[in-house]
Structure 1
Amino acid sequence: MQTQIDPSLAGHPDIASAQTALQRCVHCGFCNAACPTYRLQGDELDGPRGRIYLIKQLLEGQAATASTQHHLDRCLSCRACESACPSGVEYGRLLDAGRAVAAGQLRRPWRQRWLRRALLALLPYPRRLAPLAALARLAKPLLPTVLQAKVPAKPAPETWPPLRHRRRMLMLQGCVQPALAPGINAAAARVLDRLGISVIQGQSGCCGALAHHLDERDAALDAVRRRIDAWWPALQAGAEAIVITASGCGTMVKDYAYLLRDDPDYADKAARVAAAAKDIAEIIQAEDTAKLAATPRKIAFQAPCSLQHGQALAGVVESLLAGLGFELTPVADAGLCCGSAGSYSLLQPELSNRLRQAKLLALQAEQPELIATANIGCLLHLRETGQEPVLHWIELLDGPNR
């Protein structure tokens, strides 16, 4: 796709990658077939190809409109289109550039602004989120039904194994996960302990994904630098990897080298951190799984978009679980998003709920005992209305704890 970038955007940090993405697009439309919102809406502007045209117009100097921003906002950033694209278009980076240009030209309605500010002020900070969740549990009987479903159960106290092995790995604690589901990271640490790997807990905190997807570039990069600073001493001391149990965070951390490529103080560190970042499935896959006895169960696995499209790890968890004796039920349209997509479920509830309904129908079709997933956002989203228990898959390997 030929394009003439507006000279006024020459200094934009993502303009070069956006231009490359536009040049690779051949208008084939394979992306639309893989796009959850296009399949729901049937509107070209709610599919990747239509959004690419909108972004092209923005980058060529056409003024952003509320309609343009509306259609870009409705994108889940699931990147299923990237998996389907035969030309290798990096649509996610193109979308980031388009959203940033639109955000720089338009002032959102006040309700949207305040909701986004509230999300940024609350979700990345476990010490703020945990007390609010506790208060919500107390007030749950007084809340509207739609909000009651969103109140998480009180997490049980978790025990982490001591640092007793020569092999050491860091762990991204995250922000929402330690506040609402701390058992996931603790279970991962116990599983790795059985494999002869000790896990360094580290500080909790956001990887930067939330601010990044809310078009708050500076806040996102500040969070990225904080995570690098927190991990750097342990990496220097010989930690093998950074273990990540939330696949959405994994996609973000693996992109640190790109995000800080022009930062003279952090570019090299960011590249090393990105290379060290590993989804927990990648770690387990490389070890002797014969040490991981598990109770076989009939499960449906919901493969998060960030795992299969963002990190290109489709099928890895499924193979691990099948190898350990679990019966995995077939899931129709397994490549489609569940509708969580970070803050999307709060910003676009109507589309998000429709996607969740379709995903749960597919997951529950063969009557599994439970649903397993690999991302905290998907877990919380599906748990709201799902009939079966929803767990992180690593919890299934946690010996007598599951």
Structure 2
Amino acid sequence: MQTHFSSAQRADPAIAEADAILRTCVHCGFCTATCPTYTLLGDERDSPRGRIYLIKDMLESGRPATTEEVEPIDRCLSCLSCMTTCPSGVHYMHLVDHARAHIETTYTRPLADRLIRAVLARVLPHPARFRLALKAAALGRPFAGLFARGPLKPLAAMLRLAPRTVAPAANAARVSPAQGPRRARVALLEGCAQQVLQPGIDVAAIRLLNRLGVEVVRVTDQGCCGALVHHMGRAADAQAFARANVDAFTREMARGGLDAILTTASGCGTTLKDYGHLLGRDPGYARKAATLAAQVRDITEFLATLDFPAQPPRGARVAYHSACSLQHGQKVKAPPLDLLRRAGFEVVEPADPHLCCGSAGTYNMLQSDLAEALLARKVATLEAVKPDIVAAGNIGCLTQIAAGMGVSVVHTVELLDWATGGPRPAALLEHFQAK
């Protein structure tokens, strides 16, 4: 793609990077075939290629963003399916993140939209606040219909997605020792939303890792990875979260050494692995951030390096949903499938496994109509393979898909823990009684 940035514009490292990304695009359109919003809407502006043109014009002009650019970019899920498809290696993730930061600083959103985004940014990344908000949702749920239309529609989606009950916080020990000879020492990212919505996921992960000879360390002062605010264009907030985590994990590396930093939420893992870029222009953090990013592994990516014990058949058919952030963002596709099969499950995938379920962080609240359409399509393909259980590796996907499925939806690591001696996942108690 030909660009026309001035020399003065290219002196800005962020613009220079955007220019380089834009120039790799050859207009082939392969990305349109795998873009969830384009397949739904059929509008070129709602395809990666269309958004790239909009971003190019917006950045080249140097002007504030307009509604014509903001709306299609807001409708982008950042599922990164286009990056898997692109034959030219266009780094769409960094380009759309830059565009969102530009929108955040130059565009004035309607008041209701600004307020809702501010609430999400100030609540979701902070577990204590999020827990209180979920308890308050129980009071607001009867009034959800009042917000079903109009500028406060995201509130209705929030109330719909909020769990009926809030699980008690998990009290993990500072160090959970390996059973038998220690094979590795790892830290587990606690993050933010998952520890409130489903704290049992990390509890299962720790049990499983300990059983396989891995010591798990709880790192103090860690927090949200920054993904939720980053995808809303709040770059400074995302960088602040990243710096706090870099400091926390760097201290732990110096204290006792770490063989890996593990995540059980693939959306977090994609962001952590990109810390070297997110803080790449911060002279005080660039090197430390890159060091941390190199240590990050998805839980299944790490388990695949161990001698995971093969288990007898369990008589359960598992439909595996590959989270976009895992298959497209981290390029981790085979390990979860292989591990589930070794654990004794019959594993199947739905049609179009590359397409998003519609969760995408805050997307299922801010773009609820599109998210519901994507969910309906995903549920239909999952139900078509007639599973007993649905498994996924990201809390957003678990929450989204569970809202539309009639079978249990659980984290991959919970099934692996159960198959190797752990308790039956709580979500299975209601829907599925296996041998």
**Given the two structures, how large is their TM-score scaled by the length of structure 2?**
0.87
Equivalent position of 2:219 in the other structure: 202
Q: Gapped runs of 5+ residues in structure 2?
A: 146-155, 425-435
Residue 289 of structure 2 corresponds to residue 253 of structure 1: no
Q: Quick check: 1:294–1:397 contact (8 Å CA) kept in 2? A: no
Q: Tell me, what secondary structure is at the counterpart of 1:286?
A: coil
Q: CA deviation at 1:12?
A: 4.3
Change (3 A) 1:367 1:93: same
- Quick one: distance in 1 between partners of 2:169 and 2:126? 20
Equivalent position of 1:130 in the other structure: 131
Q: Tell me, what secondary structure is at the counterpart of 2:176?
A: coil
Q: Tell me, what secondary structure is at the counterpart of 2:161?
A: coil
Change (3 A) 1:180 1:388: same
- Number of corresponding residues: 401
Equivalent position of 1:5 in the other structure: 5
Q: CA deviation at 1:241?
A: 0.9
CA deviation digits over 1:367-399, x for unaligned, max 9? 211111000111111112211111111000223
- Quick one: distance in 2 between partners of 1:11 and 1:184? 46
Which amino acid is 1:188 matched to?
A: A
Equivalent position of 2:243 in the other structure: 225
Change (3 A) 1:108 1:343: same
Q: Quick check: 2:318–2:346 contact (8 Å CA) kept in 1? A: yes
Q: Quick check: 1:208–1:221 contact (8 Å CA) kept in 2? A: yes
**What is the root-mean-square deviation of aligned Cα atoms in Å?**
2.0
Percent same amino acid at aligned positions?
A: 42
Which amino acid is 1:228 matched to?
A: V
Residue 176 of structure 2 corresponds to residue 163 of structure 1: yes
List structure 1 runs of 4+ shifted beyond 4 angstroms. Answer: 145-148, 156-162, 291-294
**How do residues 2-401 of structure 1 correspond to structure 2 at under 5 angstroms?**
2-6=2-6, 9-10=9-10, 12-61=12-61, 63=63, 64-137=65-138, 139=139, 142-144=142-144, 149-152=160-163, 153-155=165-167, 158=170, 160=172, 163-165=176-178, 166=182, 167-203=184-220, 205-236=223-254, 237-290=256-309, 295-398=314-417, 399-401=421-423
- Quick one: distance in 2 between partners of 1:360 and 1:238? 43
**Given the two structures, how large is their TM-score scaled by the length of structure 1?**
0.94
- Quick one: distance in 2 between partners of 1:140 and 1:151? 10
- Quick one: distance in 2 between partners of 1:330 and 1:342? 23
- Quick one: distance in 2 between partners of 1:268 and 1:6? 30
Change (3 A) 1:141 1:312: closer
Q: CA deviation at 1:134?
A: 2.8
- Quick one: distance in 1 between partners of 2:232 and 2:207? 34
- Quick one: distance in 2 between partners of 1:67 and 1:194? 54
Which amino acid is 1:100 matched to?
A: A
- Quick one: distance in 2 between partners of 1:98 and 1:141? 35
- Quick one: distance in 1 between partners of 2:49 and 2:40? 15
Q: CA deviation at 1:268?
A: 1.3
Q: CA deviation at 1:35?
A: 0.2
Change (3 A) 1:11 1:296: farther
- Quick one: distance in 2 between partners of 1:9 and 1:99? 18
Q: Quick check: 1:30–1:85 contact (8 Å CA) kept in 2? A: yes
Change (3 A) 1:395 1:277: same
- Quick one: distance in 2 between partners of 1:365 and 1:85? 29
